[in-house]
Each structure stands twice: as C-alpha cells, then as structure tokens.
Amino acid sequence: MSELTSIAGMAAGILGLAAFVPYIISTIKRKTKPNRASWWIWTFLGVIISASYYAVGATDTAWLTLSYVIGPFVIGLLSFKYGEGGWNRFDISCIIGAIFAAAMWWAFNAPIITLVLTIFIDAMGVLPTVKKAYFKPQSEDRVSWLIFFVAALLNLIAIESWIFEIAIYPVYMCIVESVVLFLLMRPQKKRSAFLFFDH
C-alpha cells in the first residue's frame, strides 16, 4: 500500500458517491428515469461485492465498492416513484444468482468465487441500463456517468497489487462506465429495433 494508491482510492470513493448527487437531482426533477431493476440489483450485489472484495484483501480500492452500495440504494428508493421498468424473470434470476454466490462463500469460505460470480451477475444487471442508454440516452444523466467514469479511472490508480482478485473489480467497473458513457455521449441517430432484454 502506498500513499498514492491510498489517496487515489479514497478520492475514487468520494467521487463515486458524489456522482450520485446530480443523478438524484435529475431524477427528482424527472429528467432522469432510473431503471428499477438495475438499481436494486446493483444495491443488492453491491453489498455482496463490497464484502467479498474486502475479504480477498482489497483495501485502497474498496472505497468505491462502498459508494456503490449507498448510492444505488438511494436511487433504488427513488425509482419507485420516478423510475421505469419492472421486474421480469431475468431480473429475478440475477437476485437468485447473487444469493447463490453468497451461499457459496458461506459454504466454502471462498470470497474470490463469490466476487467473480457477483461481478458476472452485476454485468447482467447492467444490460437494462445499457439498453436504455442506447435507445433513450436523454433519460440518463450524462454528468453523473462522466463522474462515475473518472472515479473508475482513479480506482485503477488505487490498485495496490495487480493480482486477479484485487484488479478484477476496478477493471470491470472501468469497462462498464466506459460503455454507458460512450452510449450517452455519442451523436444521436435513429435507433434500430434491436432489443437486449424486455423490461
């Protein structure tokens, strides 16, 4: 652990949490419509990822995982009134998968297995928001996603040891934020009828 990784990790956590502020404001003003399934899946998975990630030895990079529990929880609450989309079989399967991953940790004392499984499930949970960013980019807050992306970059700097169990989450988050940000920032054209999953 170095002073640079420590500062970068804490900055990533603070910035990650701050990114939710404009998103929350935009949601309350009804400019942004969070997908209910995505944000509750992220909240639930965030708890498991944060716990398992810390258990495998992450320290400096763990701050961002904590912010991704608090922020999604608040937005998840707001999504009941201001959001869109409901729960389908795919969404429910994500939650069941997360419960299974947590059970694996408890049964085999293997947080790395839990971490990898929940990251994979989290990636599946991102798809409804990726779909929304593709078809209705105006329904997402660009400023928030830009800050999320910067926080993810800072978290890469905060990686104290470039080993699989420590690096996997920051790398994954950087990829996710990049994809959503790209979809939101690209020039708007007529969308095709392509669908990932039904809400």
Span 93-141, pLDDT tens digits = 777 877 888 888 888 888 898 889 888 888 877 887 788 888 888 878 8
Least confident of 9-23, 90-104, 130-144, 156-170: 90-104
> Residues in the chain, how many?
199
User: Is there a domain that residue 192 lies in?
Assistant: no
Residue 1 has a pLDDT of: 55
User: Is there a domain that residue 135 lies in?
Assistant: yes
- Band (pLDDT 50/70/90 cuts) for residue 60 is confident
User: Is there a domain that residue 190 lies in?
Assistant: no
User: Is there a domain that residue 195 lies in?
Assistant: no
Query: pTM (2 decimals)?
Result: 0.79
User: Is there a domain that residue 179 lies in?
Assistant: yes
Q: What is the DSSP letter of 60?
A: T
Domain that holds residue 143: 3-185
Total tally of structural domains belonging to the chain: 1
User: Is there a domain that residue 198 lies in?
Assistant: no
- Band (pLDDT 50/70/90 cuts) for residue 90 is confident
User: Is there a domain that residue 193 lies in?
Assistant: no
Residue 118 has a pLDDT of: 87
Residue 198 has a pLDDT of: 45
User: Is there a domain that residue 144 lies in?
Assistant: yes
Express each pLDDT in 24-37 by its tens digit: 998 999 888 887 88
> Could you give the CA distance from residue 136 to residue 133 in angstroms, rounded to a whole number?
5
CA distances from 97 to 36, 100, 113, 132, 174 (A): 18, 5, 12, 23, 23
* Other residues' Cβ atoms within 10 Å of the Cβ of residue 45: 27
> Could you give the CA distance from residue 192 to residue 194 in angstroms, rounded to a whole number?
5
CA pseudo-torsion sign 103, 105, 111, 113? negative
**Which among 73, 69, 85, 87 has a CA at the least distance from the CA of 34?**
85
